[in-house]
Structure 1
Amino acid sequence: MSIESTEPDAIDDANGVTASPGSVSRGIEVIPKEYFAAFVLTTCCFALWGFANDITNPLVKVFKEVFQISNTQSSLVQFAFYGGYFTMALPAAYFIRKFSYKGAIMVGFALYAIGALLSIPASLNQNFWIFIAGFYVLTFGLAFLETSCNPYILAMGPPETATQRLNLAQAFNPIGSLTGMVIATTVIAPNLQVGEFRSSVESKTPAAVAYVENDYPDGLPNFAEEYGTLDEAVGKGLANMQVSDPEVFKTMQLHDLAVVRTPYVVIAIVVLCFLGLFAVTKMPTFASEHPDAPMSEIIGRLLSKPHYREGVVAQAFYVGAQITCWTFIIHYGMELVSLSLAEAQTWNIAAMVIFLTSRFVCTFLLKYISPGKLLSVLAAAAIAFTAGAIFLEGKTGLTCLVLISACMSLMFPTIYGIALKGLPAEEAKLGSAGLIMAIVGGALLPLLQGKFIDELGVRNSFYLPMICFIAIAIFGVRTFTRFEQSESAAA
């Protein structure tokens, strides 16, 4: 089976990035039949790492309550998760150069499964730090998968249709993300006893009030009218339960951590099945006839290119903004709009649906608008929506926060494409690892925003992603006015 292209996309080489708009690849195969099975198997990886990314986001709020820790401490979940990308991206690129794409993918699966299975001792021992170690190891695996799968997909066919192959494979990433969100909403959130305690506090049942009322001598407030008070009361009630009734609190903690553990054990089994499938399947190697230059030489060449250097920085800001906006939708909904965890997660799902829909719209717009110009417009709109989340009250502010996802939808691949544009194959492979390392923005900025939430409140913490979008807008403007216009002049 082969699929023919009908879109005007092109690529510089099998491991490079999108060429300038206007080149036509009609009638050229997107997925040649000899690579179809390998393409399908590799594309499944995109959904698998999307699942891991988005089932983890709600745990920042869950762990805050279950372990009774601060927002800053609970944000270590994202610090460990996205820090693993930074740690392992370059080793993954080195492994690919020395061995093969298939070998790197198999290593990625193994590390993914080990990290997920660490949820078993973490939950049984009620140990937050084992969870953190598990997330760190799990994303070692994701770094191997992302660093290998993107250029592997690009190489599976004619260079002229490589962008379309990658776009097709990337379409399965949000499907995995949505699956993770749905599992978090339908399996984790409804079965958490901390959620039941929250409902009991809101309805002021005597058992819950007994844990909370000492902190409210004038009686529990009207939570429906006083945004943020419910979340504060739940925190106080759980803290009092931990001190005055530690066995009850420990039983609740064991139950909730077992709920969290279950999907990680299941996904570990799924990942191990894929590891076995890759082990017995013959995959293309795409071995180069000529050895690549030393890594130090390639890194020097990459850093000498302004569009790549600035693209890596912009990517770090983007990933940081994306993870903060998606992670703290939960906090915003629960603390400022008095939603339950499941209700807040529903808004997170809406953000992902908008993100996925907008990606197709923006891909169409790229036929008529240059990447730099479109990136600038999207970043400006994101700044406006972030301002709405900061200054507007209740569900109006939450709606603005969700609509930021429409602006973020094409930022990652657009920045990725701008940064790698025109690079030869050996530079693109290592350059891809640098862009994966930039995912460290998703480790650092949520940790910083968690501290802002503790000290300044949820609403004011969103000045942080606003700064990120300003940086992305500057990169977009520089791309349009410097890089793209100079190309047009050269042409």
Structure 2
Amino acid sequence: MNTKNQTPVVEKKLLIPFILVTSLFALWGFANAVTDPMVQAFKKVLELSNSQAAWVQMAFYGGYFCMALPAAIFMRKYSYKVGILIGLALYATGALLFYPAAITEKFWFFCLGLYILTFGLAFLETAANPYALAMGPKETATQRLNLAQAFNPVGLIFGLLVAQQFVLKNLKSDDISDFSALDEASKILIKTSDLMVIRNPYVILGLVIIGVFVLFLVSKMPQSKDEGTTPNIGETFVVLFKNNKYVLGVLSQILYVGGQIMCWTYIYQYAEAIGVDSVTAGYYQMAAFILFTVGRAVGTYMLRFISSGKLLMSFALLAIMCVLGTIFIEGMIGLYCLVIISFFMSLMFPTIYGIALGDLTEEESKIGSAGLVMAIVGGALMPKLQGMIIDLGGSGVADTKIIGVSEVNFSFILPLLCFAFISWYGYHVYSKHE
């Protein structure tokens, strides 16, 4: 008999705290979605190359890498709640830095704001993911995390709506086909106006996060269940490095996040190559996020009947098929394939997370979760590499052909390799651990 069907995913007494923690998943989803289109926005406004504009993602996901382990070490000494409060404070600070950044009009200042913002997200993810896993029986932990993660796409969709309706539609530089040909005075006026447009959603977001901070501050949250004494951190690292499922899970997570961010960031460049403008491309990204949301719900339900490793493998294989279509089918069909990838990506992050931490104690999970959050650095490194591939033929997106397709199409070979490894990891878990 399947005990998962009998055991509640979330107990009634923990429902309110679980809802509060789940709200964090939407909040960092919003930050992810509102930032992805900024690569294209900064590229146009500040006249950057594809690889230079990718510093937005380098700053955003680099912050995760730098702060995840310190956040985990902090939470070994203190509580998940304190970690969440610090995360929210850093999140708000980074978002509000967009105000002075817009005044100075310096690209590095915007990147600094994103870097600090993601210090906060690193705290939030390092706390919220294992916290959600711990809020109930171990046998339903992966289901519970998938349920919490199901609200991440809600933030994604809302973030993209804000980016599309309040940023992309209002960028004056996007209405000019050859922005670089304008005289300097016109460029300065347009740049100042557009940077203010980019600034506004982040400043408002910072104020909202302050409100969420106050809500968590006054709310009573359950304490984690410590089992005996806290092990030495060195001993914990030894345990983690000896755990093959965990180590491969971290590597899979690096590749997953890299693949996800590449598919979401460069949908704009892919659309540009076939003559679709940025605003319209935003609608396709919206469709991708909706499919991501649906896929997360479908995947969470399917986990009741199919093992996590087997389902992960299946979704990754289907994602590979879609990436092949993205690469080799030029035109709108290729764009549709790129959109559909999101359905199959939806299950991957929380499932890899749950699998990797599945055999660990709660104290080991606090450090283990840091490794999985640090894995988000894949979102910093791989889009940069993809941008370099797109720049091979010049500053455009379809300047040359590689194996018979434009460089922007070919660049999706990187997500293909990512999903190939993830499918193998799913098979490895399914065949040896389930």
Structures share fold, TM-score greater than 0.5: yes
Residues 30 and 162, structure 1, Cα contact 8 Å, conserved in 2: no
* Correspondent of 1:480 among 427, 430, 434: 430
* Correspondent of 1:454 among 391, 404, 415: 391
User: Which SS does the other structure have where 1:41 is aligned?
Assistant: helix
Question: Counterparts of 2:146 and 2:376 in 1: how far apart (Å)?
Answer: 19
Q: 1:79 Cα shift?
A: 0.9
Question: Counterparts of 1:385 and 1:373 in 2: how far apart (Å)?
Answer: 19
Question: Counterparts of 1:26 and 1:373 in 2: how far apart (Å)?
Answer: 22
Residues 143 and 300, structure 2, Cα contact 8 Å, conserved in 1: no
Q: 1:72 Cα shift?
A: 0.3
User: Which SS does the other structure have where 2:10 is aligned?
Assistant: strand
**Aligned position for 2:134:** 155
**Aligned position for 1:347:** 284
* Correspondent of 1:239 among 180, 185, 194: 180
Residues 25 and 160, structure 1, Cα contact 8 Å, conserved in 2: no
**Aligned position for 1:488:** none
Q: 1:302 Cα shift?
A: 0.9
After superposition, the C-alpha distances for 1:265-298 in whole angstroms (9 at most, x for unaligned) are: 0010000111122222232233636331111111
After superposition, the C-alpha distances for 1:384-426 in whole angstroms (9 at most, x for unaligned) are: 2111111112111101111111211111122112212222222
Residues 67 and 119, structure 2, Cα contact 8 Å, conserved in 1: yes
Partner amino acid, structure 1, of 2:294: T
Q: 1:344 Cα shift?
A: 0.3
Residues 92 and 144, structure 1, Cα contact 8 Å, conserved in 2: yes
Partner amino acid, structure 1, of 2:47: Q
Question: Counterparts of 2:94 and 2:26 in 1: how far apart (Å)?
Answer: 17
1:305 aligns with 2:284: no
After superposition, the C-alpha distances for 1:97-129 in whole angstroms (9 at most, x for unaligned) are: 111111111100111011111111111111100
Residues 452 and 461, structure 1, Cα contact 8 Å, conserved in 2: yes
After superposition, the C-alpha distances for 1:364-387 in whole angstroms (9 at most, x for unaligned) are: 333333322222222222222111
Residues 112 and 137, structure 1, Cα contact 8 Å, conserved in 2: yes
After superposition, the C-alpha distances for 1:446-477 in whole angstroms (9 at most, x for unaligned) are: 01101111015211111111111121122222
**Aligned position for 2:258:** 320
Partner amino acid, structure 2, of 1:448: L
Partner amino acid, structure 2, of 1:313: L
* Correspondent of 2:10 among 30, 52, 63: 30
User: Which SS does the other structure have where 2:224 is aligned?
Assistant: coil
Worse-matched range after superposition: 367-376 or 349-358: 367-376
| 1:2-401 superposed matches below 5 A | 22-24=2-4, 26=6, 28=8, 30-33=10-13, 35-197=14-176, 234=177, 237-241=178-182, 245-286=183-224, 288=226, 290-334=228-272, 336-401=273-338
**Structure 2 alignment gaps of length 5 or more:** 394-406
Partner amino acid, structure 2, of 1:31: E
Q: 1:159 Cα shift?
A: 4.3
Q: Against the structure 1 CA distance between its residues 425 and 25, is the aligned structure 2 distance closer, same or farther, given a 3 Å change threshold? A: farther
Question: Counterparts of 2:132 and 2:422 in 1: how far apart (Å)?
Answer: 27
Partner amino acid, structure 2, of 1:364: Y
Q: Against the structure 1 CA distance between its residues 29 and 405, is the aligned structure 2 distance closer, same or farther, given a 3 Å change threshold? A: closer
Question: Counterparts of 1:400 and 1:280 in 2: how far apart (Å)?
Answer: 46
Q: 1:338 Cα shift?
A: 1.2
After superposition, the C-alpha distances for 1:4-56 in whole angstroms (9 at most, x for unaligned) are: xxxx9xxxxxxxxxxxxx324526472333x3332232222111111001100
Q: Against the structure 1 CA distance between its residues 423 and 415, is the aligned structure 2 distance closer, same or farther, given a 3 Å change threshold? A: same
Q: Against the structure 1 CA distance between its residues 142 and 402, is the aligned structure 2 distance closer, same or farther, given a 3 Å change threshold? A: same
Worse-matched range after superposition: 148-157 or 265-274: 148-157
Residues 143 and 303, structure 2, Cα contact 8 Å, conserved in 1: no
**Aligned position for 2:400:** none
User: Which SS does the other structure have where 1:57 is aligned?
Assistant: helix
State, as a whole percentage, how many aligned pairs show the same letter: 49
User: Normalising by structure 2, what TM-score?
Assistant: 0.93
After superposition, the C-alpha distances for 1:70-116 in whole angstroms (9 at most, x for unaligned) are: 10010011111011111111111111111111111110011101111
User: Which SS does the other structure have where 1:423 is aligned?
Assistant: coil
Q: Against the structure 1 CA distance between its residues 30 and 271, is the aligned structure 2 distance closer, same or farther, given a 3 Å change threshold? A: same
Q: Against the structure 1 CA distance between its residues 479 and 270, is the aligned structure 2 distance closer, same or farther, given a 3 Å change threshold? A: same
Partner amino acid, structure 2, of 1:268: G
User: Which SS does the other structure have where 2:433 is aligned?
Assistant: helix
Partner amino acid, structure 2, of 1:141: G
* Correspondent of 2:345 among 408, 411, 432: 408
Worse-matched range after superposition: 161-170 or 267-276: 161-170
Q: 1:358 Cα shift?
A: 1.5
Residues 4 and 140, structure 2, Cα contact 8 Å, conserved in 1: no
Question: Counterparts of 1:107 and 1:297 in 2: how far apart (Å)?
Answer: 27
**Structure 1 alignment gaps of length 5 or more:** 1-7, 9-21, 198-233, 485-491
Question: Counterparts of 2:9 and 2:101 in 1: how far apart (Å)?
Answer: 48
Residues 262 and 415, structure 2, Cα contact 8 Å, conserved in 1: yes
Question: Counterparts of 2:312 and 2:45 in 1: how far apart (Å)?
Answer: 40
Question: Counterparts of 2:141 and 2:418 in 1: how far apart (Å)?
Answer: 30
Partner amino acid, structure 1, of 2:415: P
Worse-matched range after superposition: 284-293 or 338-347: 284-293
Partner amino acid, structure 2, of 1:273: G
Question: Counterparts of 2:306 and 2:205 in 1: how far apart (Å)?
Answer: 40
Q: Against the structure 1 CA distance between its residues 321 and 288, is the aligned structure 2 distance closer, same or farther, given a 3 Å change threshold? A: same
Question: Counterparts of 2:386 and 2:153 in 1: how far apart (Å)?
Answer: 24
Question: Counterparts of 1:446 and 1:146 in 2: how far apart (Å)?
Answer: 21
Question: Counterparts of 1:316 and 1:141 in 2: how far apart (Å)?
Answer: 19
Residues 146 and 300, structure 2, Cα contact 8 Å, conserved in 1: no
